[in-house]
Amino acid sequence: MYKWNQFCMKLDNGSLFIALNHEQKQLSDYYSYENKIKGAYMEEILGIEASNTIIGSQDFKQTSFIGDFADLNVWSYSIEDLLPLTKCLLNSFMSGGNYFNWSKAQMTIKGLQVREEGESLLCKDFRPFVYEFPASNYKTVNLFCQQFGSFLHYALENNEPFDGLYWAGYTDHLNEKEFIDSLGNPINNSLWKKGHPIKDVYQNCAAIDGNTLNTVVLDCEYELKAKCWFPEPPTIKLRGMGGDLSSIVDHTYNLNYITGYFEGSLMNTFLKLKDGSWDIQDKRDNKVLLNHTTPMPFGISNWVKPEYPTENIKLSFDVCREDQFNCDNGLCIDIQKRCDDEIDCIDESDENDCSLVKLPKYYNKDAVPLPVPNSYNFKKYFLLTISKLRVEIVEIVDRASIIKLQLGVFSTWRDSSLQFLNLNRSKEVTITKKEYEKIWTPHYTIYMVSGQEEDLGSKNVEAITTSEPKTSGIHEIRNSLVYQGDFVNMVSRNWYTTTIICTFDKLKYFPFDTNTCEFQIYLDGTPAAWSNPMKDVRLVSTGIVEFGPEMLGLYTISSMKTKVTANTAKLEVTMVFRRQFLGIFLQYCMSNILLLTVVYSSNLYYQEMTELAITINVTILLAMSNLFGTVFNAMPNTTDVKFMDLYQIKCLLIAILIIIAQTMFLYLRKEANGNKTLSKQRNGGKGCKMNLFNISR
């Protein structure tokens, strides 16, 4: 690692503040600073020799300066690092961008540009950090730089010769015709060595030749040194520590530019790479607390305590931010891509262990989850909302006084004792059966039924939230988005197949009866819910009821309503249905009307064919009697005489009266004919002829 010395100052009300390597110091005034910075102090802090060093000038001493050296002698000072001077552009020492070459600064620097800056920019860190990786193939060092939150890059603009080859950070893997780095920037083609690039080289990767400072093409399996370039100072995190270890070892480490070590943020520990392994040491006695024996500890791997070398401690070593997920190999991705059914980590670890529910240590899935008092929930009762009721009527059997149906209960609640991980705030997330079987979900008992069966195969549980999540914290080995249960709506869909017992108390008005059927839905796990008030549970309903089909057989469903009984976990459902008159008319009335029509029609010919008419009418009477029995048996049994019974009786009476009338007419006719025949015999043929004439009339 390389150290970098930053020099920044400001003058405020006569008191000069200077920052050397991010350590702010205050000097009493401008001139004491001039004396203080000379000699040994200059050599000790900056590592350079100074003579008559003046920062700024009297004309500008009320101005804040950054990177502004008016008259500073730098002797034989070379630091192998890059310095971006974003505010002071000095063309004589710049090449290809804001990179200042300290190796060229072996002379008096004069005439640097002076600019006024606000305090928000004053002494802001513009320094990159460079890490030199030992010789390895391109894939290995490129992965390491990515794990470190950096980029494989060697500044081709550095014009100082060096020995050997370094990976330049360019490859043509994505496009054989173009060499680009990990940021997508193309290589400077003017820097190619003569005869390069070579198209026939397998797995083309670019390296820089230290002797000629030109780039050459090599097989990517060559083992070369490389440098990782950091756009910002890295912060290393150790995730997953618990117990006593977390009280003596830091979880986060920031780079100290002076020592080159990573210093802990809270404890007296520091992290450093030594002899190919990483050590976490105590600052006070340099005792090694944890050790990783490889130079590439990134990702989830085993660390050891030197005093217990056989015991492994699984930790995650990464530089991921709080809004990133740490893949098992140490790479970082957007945490919103965690468990989104798309693979984003190279090792596919972002789609592994996608648990959505985090259970507390003592959790009873069989008890109604009463609210946990905390800053999120001030309610003293558990609120369960039946957001929708779906009723699918399968069959109405009025003869048995039952209704067969499928019942869907859509419930919404919140469980404040749970935490949820990796939800998607833009849509509902389905909780797997394996997970929802571990938590409380509502189950219902239906009253006024002859039997019920819950269709567990159709059960569905989802979670949805619009709240802002928190991260799981450094103590968890994998970073996750955590949502408190108070802000997550749980939605379940329970389906039941049941048979409702209905009284059908309006059947006496058949077929004009309109019946009302009621049943109750109770929440399981609420003791004495049948009558006693529930102090800890509130059941509410949105009143949304979907039912179908509206027409079933001879019935039409008129309406369906719900009502929650106050302070009880009970939902009352009332449905009203009536008969379709057209169906009843065609099935029960039309046949009687047709038969009566035949009976009435027989009056037109009964005088000529009296016996035939009576025979037909008696047959119809028998048919109507049989039809009456069939209809009577088909209708629900009641103690009252139904409208349909009266109609059937009326039809029979009409047919009977017509047959009786026709029989009487036949009897009277025969009697009259008999009298006329007797008179003829008494009075002679003339009288007979006249009687026959009269009869024919």
Q: Where is average pLDDT lowest: 3-17, 91-105, 193-207, 282-296? A: 91-105
The residue-averaged pLDDT of 88-101 equals 30
Given a cut of 60, whether residue 118 has pLDDT beyond it is no
Instruction: Give the pLDDT of residue 697.
Output: 35
Indicate the domain borders of the chain.
Answer: 7-109, 129-230, 235-319, 382-579, 582-682
**Per the structure block, which two tokens stand in for 621?**
């009477």
E strand map for 414-553: 419-421, 429-431, 444-447, 449-454, 460-464, 470-471, 481-484, 489-501, 514-523, 537-541, 545-548, 551-552
Half-sphere exposure of 105 (CA within 13 A, CB side): 25
Q: What are 327-360's pLDDT values in tens digits?
A: 999 889 999 899 888 999 989 999 988 889 999 8
Instruction: Give the pLDDT of residue 6.
Output: 36
Give the predicted TM-score (pTM) of the model. Answer: 0.63
Q: Among 83-87, 271-275, 557-561, 564-568, name the most confident range.
A: 557-561
How would you write 525-571 as a 3-class SS string? CCCCCCCCCCCCEEEEECCCEEEECCEECCEEEEEEEEEECCCCCEE
Share of the chain above pLDDT 70, in %: 71
The residue-averaged pLDDT of 424-442 equals 87
**Per the structure block, which two tokens stand in for 32?**
């004491």
DSSP code of residue 169: E
Instruction: Give the pLDDT of residue 692.
Output: 34
Q: Where are the alpha helices (DSSP H) in 37-80?
A: 39-46
Q: What's 129-230's CATH class? A: alpha beta
Given a cut of 70, whether residue 261 has pLDDT beyond it is yes
Q: How does strand 108-109 pair with strand 204-209?
A: unpaired
Closest CA to 541 of 519, 573, 494: 573
More confidently predicted of 272 and 14 = 272
* Bridge partners, 238 (sequence order): 317
The residue-averaged pLDDT of 138-144 equals 88
Instruction: Give the pLDDT of residue 450.
Output: 78
Instruction: Give the pLDDT of residue 645.
Output: 78
DSSP tally for the chain: helices H, then strands E? 9, 39
| Fold classified for 382-579 | Acetylcholine Binding Protein; Chain: A, (2.70.170)
Closest CA to 555 of 504, 603, 601: 504
* Bridge partners, 461 (sequence order): 431, 492
More confidently predicted of 161 and 486 = 486
Given a cut of 90, whether residue 104 has pLDDT beyond it is no
User: Cα(388)–Cα(386) distance, rounded to whole angstroms?
Assistant: 6
DSSP 78-128: --SS-B--SS---GGGB-SSS-B-GGG--SEE---------TTTTT-----
Those residues whose C-beta lies under 8 Å from the C-beta of residue 46, and which sit 6 or more positions away, are 5, 7, 20
Those residues whose C-beta lies under 8 Å from the C-beta of residue 212, and which sit 6 or more positions away, are 193
Instruction: Give the pLDDT of residue 318.
Output: 92
Q: How does strand 332-334 pair with strand 262-264?
A: unpaired
Instruction: Give the pLDDT of residue 526.
Output: 56
Those residues whose C-beta lies under 8 Å from the C-beta of residue 482, and which sit 6 or more positions away, are 358, 419, 420, 421, 469, 470, 471, 472
582-682 has the same fold as 382-579: no
* Bridge partners, 301 (sequence order): 315
**Per the structure block, which two tokens stand in for 471?**
């991260």
With cut-offs at 50, 70 and 90, classify the pLDDT of residue 51. very low
CATH entry, 582-682, from 3.30.2320, 1.20.1250, 1.20.58, 1.10.540: 1.20.58
Instruction: Give the pLDDT of residue 105.
Output: 36
